[in-house]
Structure 1
Amino acid sequence: MASGQLSRAEALACSGCRHRHACHVMLYSHTKSQLFGRIPIKYIILMQMRFDGLLGFPGGFVNQSQESLEAGLCRELMEEVGVALSVSEDDHVDARRAPGTSPSCPRLITHFYVKKLEEEQIREVEKASASTAKDHGQEVLGMVRVPLYTTKGGGGLPSFLSHAFIGNARSQLVHSLLRLRLVAPEDLRQALERSLKTHARSAADLQEALALTEAEQQPS
């Protein structure tokens, strides 16, 4: 297995006060809609902008002594997207041990699920997340769709992948795109290469913005 990766049974065996479990899910659906009426969108994948300004998947911490992983994930989904969704063991695709900060700190075990919905269900999630979800505007700042296309100017997926993600959410997204064949491997590789260039430009822009703040601090 990859570094830190666990089987479900191994992950469940990690219990007690020294281990915490966090479950997150990628909700997606097929769609026939097109961007500008000519660019196939193909699939809708939902992620969220978190309270810390990072992109991630819906979910959160589970109290393993009081609830199953799936029950805890469904509880978190109700709080974050405002819709009761059923997630089962069959939707579980990955478990891994996150690096601990020190020997005295609890170890975090992350679980990742993938759930396919109908497009109408996805739209219901989007509407509820902005209207009835308990955590909207607090822990969750908004749901976003992952653009799986690449425009002529390099927009879409390359730009999206250049943003900041929480933990291993970016790798979870990339692995899911490949495993489910939602994006061709060559197209994804090119998107990632463009993303690296976009990230470099963003770093330069940040340096310019930082220079502006420093100039404002100079005595007149």
Structure 2
Amino acid sequence: MSEGNWGHLASDEKYGRLVDQVDDFKLITYDEAASESHAAHKHASHTMILARDLRVLWDLYPARAAILMQMRFDGVIGFPGGLVDPGEDPVVAANREMVEEIGLDLQKHSITKENHIVSYFNAKKNLVLHFFGLEVTLEEFCAIEQRNLKAPDYGVETLGILRPPLYTMGDNYRGLPAFLSNTFVGNARDELLLGLQHFKTHSAEEIQAALTAQEKHAAEHQGCQGKS
């Protein structure tokens, strides 16, 4: 198969290309996203599922919360979700995608417009992103994790779920800063950090400290590579 052979994926593959910069995503309101000016653009919906976790791990690090993210088919990390079908509402799409990708039982949990956290417009891709947040109990969260293995898209579009560590360990890198060094689809990394503030598990100062630690480690690692 040649490098450019996308088959039936060709029409949509551009939306997942890993070339985005932070400033490619402009914050817009949900109403703006639903307006006529964005009607011709492609839309996508993704959801953060969160459960508060009051444990202190190893008597050192507050767990704070469990958050569900996933390894995607393209080898990068993101939230459950995907492209909105033509004529489909973003909320309906968010629920449909979570059924397909993680096997969510909509009789127990479902997204409404009130779960909306933020929307973005990426002009380079003509893409509107809708990000939702759903809080559940830790017991419910564990049950959702277990259902993932039976989801219709498991092993195809999703290759496993994971929980981001929300603490920073004693070396000021392992934990959340190290997790932020991974490759994320689109602006999923920024959505994660915004979600942490939305649910008040972290302050803006704590988020910035984790980003600073991650950037410092990346710069030091790059410096070491340059000297080798």
Partner residue, 2:12: none
Structure 2 gaps, min length 5: 1-22
What aligned pairs does 1:163-174 form with structure 2 within 5 A after superposition?
163-174=182-193
CA–CA distance in structure 2, aligned partners of residues 95 and 40 of structure 1: 30
What is the Cα deviation at residue 59 of structure 1? 0.6
Give the share of equivalent positions with the same residue, in percent: 33
Deviates more, 1:70-79 or 1:28-37: 28-37
1:25 aligned onto 2:47: yes
Runs of 4+ in 1 over 6 A off after TM superposition: 204-208
Partner residue, 1:215: none
CA–CA distance in structure 1, aligned partners of residues 66 and 151 of structure 2: 20
- Find the partner of 2:155 among 105, 126, 137: 137
What is the Cα deviation at residue 11 of structure 1? 1.2
Structure 1 gaps, min length 5: 102-106, 212-220
- Find the partner of 1:60 among 73, 82, 101: 82
What aligned pairs does 1:204-215 form with structure 2 within 5 A after superposition?
none
1:99 aligned onto 2:99: no
- Find the partner of 2:166 among 117, 133, 148: 148
CA–CA distance in structure 2, aligned partners of residues 144 and 206 of structure 1: 29
1:79 aligned onto 2:103: no
Partner residue, 2:71: 49
CA–CA distance in structure 1, aligned partners of residues 42 and 114 of structure 2: 22
CA–CA distance in structure 2, aligned partners of residues 206 and 113 of structure 1: 39
TM-score (ref. length: structure 1): 0.81
What is the Cα deviation at residue 38 of structure 1? 4.1
What is the Cα deviation at residue 204 of structure 1? 6.5
1:89 aligned onto 2:110: no
